């Protein structure tokens, strides 16, 4: 089984997410304006941690309530407006799907974000399962194991772009492939993707597909 991170690995939705959050923030009458880079530097964190960074000037109760409103609106906005797939993602997923590779997504996002991605990019057919921090309440390592258990997989590899992905993979007991074109760096990954289309060969090198 190949399990993917989403942001910074399959696509870049930073600008769309910032646009959606700014709409909610403006409606709340707050003097805060976010950029795509504000969102990108927080990718991989849980939603509460993102709120702590972006809305630090607000009391905790207010910042989390605002983040919840942003999340709900973001899902519908993302479903309509989408993001930007990294080069080669669609073609490579199609190849892996044809080859019978089981694929899933695990992200520290809010509930509903992965389905919004799947709808906006028309990618539901490629993935057998997914899990989100906002749906399970679990951190990434536990969600990786959960998806493996649900799908009867005794062997998996995780593909991510930041060190937190590698740390979660290690706790879950699976190797991590670094998407080097993404938003961060990973120390000592099991494999490296300079571009997404490198994935079939890297999986072959690691013994995950023929």
Q: What is the pLDDT of residues 83-127, one digit of tens each?
A: 999 999 999 999 999 999 999 999 998 899 999 999 999 999 999
73-77's contacts with Cβ under 8 Å and 24+ in sequence apart are 73/20, 73/21, 73/23, 73/24, 74/17, 74/20, 74/21, 74/110, 74/113, 74/116, 75/110, 75/112, 75/113, 75/115, 75/116, 76/116, 77/16, 77/19, 77/20, 77/23
Domain boundary among 81, 99, 131: 81
Distances (CA, A) of 130 to 6, 77, 157: 10, 20, 14
One domain, residues 35 and 127: no
| 177 is a domain residue | yes
User: How far is 209 from 203, CA to CA, in rounded Å?
Assistant: 6
Q: Tell whether the model's pLDDT for residue 73 goes beyond 70.
A: yes
Domain that holds residue 191: 2-12+84-205
Do 24 and 51 fall within a single domain?
A: yes
Q: Name the band, by pLDDT with cuts 50, 70 and 90, for residue 210.
A: low
Listed residue (82, 79, 56) closest to 67, CA to CA:
56
Distance CA 48, CA 50 (A): 5
Residues 71 and 144 in one domain: no
- Domain boundary residue among 65, 81, 97? 81
More confident residue, 98 or 210: 98
With cut-offs at 50, 70 and 90, classify the pLDDT of residue 153: very high
In a domain, 161, yes or no: yes
**Total tally of structural domains belonging to the chain:** 2
Instruction: Over range 167-195, report the average pLDDT.
Output: 97
Question: Is 210 among the domain residues?
Answer: no
pLDDT of residue 166 exceeding 70: yes
Query: Are residues 121 and 30 located together in one domain of the fold?
Result: no
| Chain mean pLDDT for the chain | 95
First to last CA, the chain: 13
Q: What separation in angstroms does the CA of 31 have from each of 7, 25, 36, 58, 155?
A: 27, 8, 17, 11, 48
Q: Are residues 77 and 171 in the same domain?
A: no
For residue 46, is it within any domain?
Answer: yes
The reply to whether 128 and 176 lie within a common domain is yes
CATH number of the domain encompassing residue 67: 1.10.150
Which string of b and e fits 143-178 if b means at least 16 CB within 10 Å? Answer: bbbbbbeeeebeebbbbbbbbbbbbbbeebebbbbb
Whether residue 189 sits in one domain with residue 119: yes
How does pLDDT run across 16-53, given as a tens digit for each residue?
A: 999 999 999 999 999 999 999 999 999 878 788 999 99
Does position 209 have pLDDT exceeding 80, yes or no?
no
- What does the pLDDT read at residue 45? 82
Asked whether the predicted pLDDT for residue 193 surpasses 70, the reply is yes
Residue 154's CATH number: 3.40.50.1000
Same domain, 200 and 111: yes
Phi, then psi, of 13 in degrees rounded to 5: -110, 15
- pLDDT value, residue 158: 98
Q: How many CB atoms lie within 10 A of CB 62?
A: 14
The fraction of the chain above a pLDDT of 70, given in percent, is 100
In-domain check, residue 72: yes
What pLDDT is recorded for position 55? 96
155 domain residue, yes or no = yes
Q: Are residues 129 and 119 in the same domain?
A: yes
pLDDT at position 6 is: 97
């Amino acid at each position: 089984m190949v399990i993917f991170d989403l942001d910074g690995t399959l696509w870049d939705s930073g600008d769309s997410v910032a646009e959606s959050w700014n709409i909610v923030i403006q409606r709340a009458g707050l003097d805060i304006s976010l950029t795509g880079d504000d969102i990108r530097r927080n990718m991989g964190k849980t939603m509460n941690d993102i709120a702590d960074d972006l809305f630090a000037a607000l009391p905790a109760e207010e910042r989390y309530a605002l983040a919840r409103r942003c999340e709900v609106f973001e899902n519908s906005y993302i479903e309509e407006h989408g993001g930007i797939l990294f080069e080669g993602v669609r073609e490579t997923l199609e190849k892996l799907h044809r080859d019978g590779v089981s694929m899933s997504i695990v992200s520290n996002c809010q509930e509903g974000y992965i389905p919004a991605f799947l709808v906006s990019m028309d990618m539901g057919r490629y993935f057998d399962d997914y899990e989100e921090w906002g749906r399970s309440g679990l951190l990434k390592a536990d969600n990786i194991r959960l998806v493996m258990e649900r799908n009867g997989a005794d062997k998996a590899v995780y593909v991510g772009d930041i060190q937190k992905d590698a740390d979660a993979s290690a706790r879950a007991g699976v190797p991590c492939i670094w998407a080097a074109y993404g938003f961060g760096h990973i120390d000592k990954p099991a494999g490296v993707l300079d571009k997404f289309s490198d994935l079939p060969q890297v999986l072959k090198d690691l013994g995950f597909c023929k």
